[in-house]
Amino acid sequence: MSEILDTQVGAVRYLSFNRPAKMNALTRDMYAGLAHGLNEAAGDFGVRAVVITSEGDHFTAGNDIMDFMDNPPTSDSSEVGTFLAALLNFPKPLIAAVKGNAVGVGTTMLLHCDVVVAAPSANFSMPFASLGLVPEAGSTFLFPALVGYQRAARIFMTGESFGAEAAMEMGLVSEISSDALNAASKIAAQIAEQPPQAIINTKALLKARQHDSVAAVMRAEFEIFAMALQSDEAMGAFMKFMAKKGSS
Ligand code: COA
């Protein structure tokens, strides 16, 4: 069974993280599957919106820590880099349905979505610095732009998490629903009924102001991230995670 489920209902494509036993932690293969799914949906006239969702109780626990150690992504041609480029450049409406933990890239990818629906269980965190890393996916640009500098700095620097209500108040999500996938599907179906070229043009205009800045910030983040992955601080944090696993 694929760890990225790719299904279509009407004109809506669904990409679902399917590794619930590991809290949907994302491996290189999963990033490659997501990039492929997005790029394929971008070029398919039969797809008018994409919903990103997850199997099990959680959205994703972020990048797989073992993968970080075994195969650190060191260039933007890595699977993570290819996924982030596909996300940044995705021309059609992208809607996310989030439940449970959305760690790391599980939260930063939402900054690229057009609509995010959260379940009351949703819990967002970006503990990059706590792991000896730096924020990625353009989040050092997009998150302060959304919530203000101090709030972004505090969340990045403390690693503290926040729930669905706080995310709603920040503008990171636009609806809280006990059935987030159903609510996201309704929005996607509603958008899919609109004139498709007008929707693509609307998204391009909405994103135009920030696109090049985000691309430049992503490149800078990636360079520092790749170096940080090899650092003692990151190795120490990864070892701590492994030790916690070993002792439980
Ligand atoms: N990479 C690899 N495996 C992960 C993972 C990750 N990022 N997050 C969770 N898992 C695995 C756990 O190892 C565990 O697998 P196991 O049962 O085979 O040991 C399973 O998913 C469930 O996770 P667990 O830690 O037991 O759940 P929890 O409810 O106690 O804690 C978290 C949840 C999210 C707080 C904790 O899993 C965590 O800190 N994960 C790492 C998150 C992270 O730092 N991501 C990278 C961000 S850049």
pLDDT per residue of the chain (248 residues) written in tens, 0 to 9: 899 999 999 999 999 999 999 999 999 999 999 999 999 999 999 999 999 999 999 999 999 999 988 988 888 889 999 999 999 999 999 999 999 999 999 999 999 999 999 999 999 999 999 999 999 999 999 999 999 999 999 999 999 999 999 999 999 999 999 999 999 999 999 999 999 999 999 999 999 999 999 999 999 999 999 999 999 999 999 999 999 877 66
- 227 domain-assigned: no
What pLDDT sits at residue 248?
A: 60
- Alpha-carbon distance of 113 to 232, in angstroms, equals 34
Query: Which of 18, 22, 67, 99 to probe ligand 1 with, by most ligand atoms within 8 A of CB?
Result: 22
Query: Which of 18, 22, 23 to probe ligand 1 with, by most ligand atoms within 8 A of CB?
Result: 23
131: CATH: 3.90.226.10
Domain encompassing residue 122: 4-179
- 226 domain-assigned: no
Total domain count for the chain? 1
Ligand 1 pocket member 66 (CB < 6 A): yes
- 187 domain-assigned: no
Ligand 1 pocket member 124 (CB < 6 A): no
Q: Alpha carbon 176 to chain centroid distance?
A: 18
What pLDDT sits at residue 72?
A: 87
What pLDDT sits at residue 74?
A: 81
Q: How many CB atoms lie within 10 A of CB 50?
A: 24
User: What residue has token string 């949703």?
Assistant: 122
- 238 domain-assigned: no
Ligand 1 pocket member 131 (CB < 6 A): yes
- Alpha-carbon distance of 31 to 86, in angstroms, equals 10
- 229 domain-assigned: no
pTM over 0.95: yes
Ligand 1 pocket member 22 (CB < 6 A): yes
111: DSSP letter: G
- 233 domain-assigned: no
- 228 domain-assigned: no
Distance 14 CA to ligand 1 centre (A): 24
Ligand 1 pocket member 245 (CB < 6 A): yes
Distance 239 CA to ligand 1 centre (A): 13
- Alpha-carbon distance of 64 to 209, in angstroms, equals 33
Distance 61 CA to ligand 1 centre (A): 6
> Looking at ligand 1, which atom is closest to the CA of residue 65?
1
Distance 187 CA to ligand 1 centre (A): 31
Ligand 1 pocket member 62 (CB < 6 A): yes
Contact 173, 116 (CB under 8 A): yes
- 13 domain-assigned: yes
- Alpha-carbon distance of 145 to 109, in angstroms, equals 15
Long-range own/partner contacts, residues 186-193 (CB < 8 A, 24 or more apart): 187/95, 187/115, 187/117, 188/12, 188/49, 188/50, 188/51, 188/93, 188/95, 189/10, 189/12, 189/49, 191/48, 191/49, 191/93, 191/95, 192/10, 192/11, 192/12, 192/48, 192/49
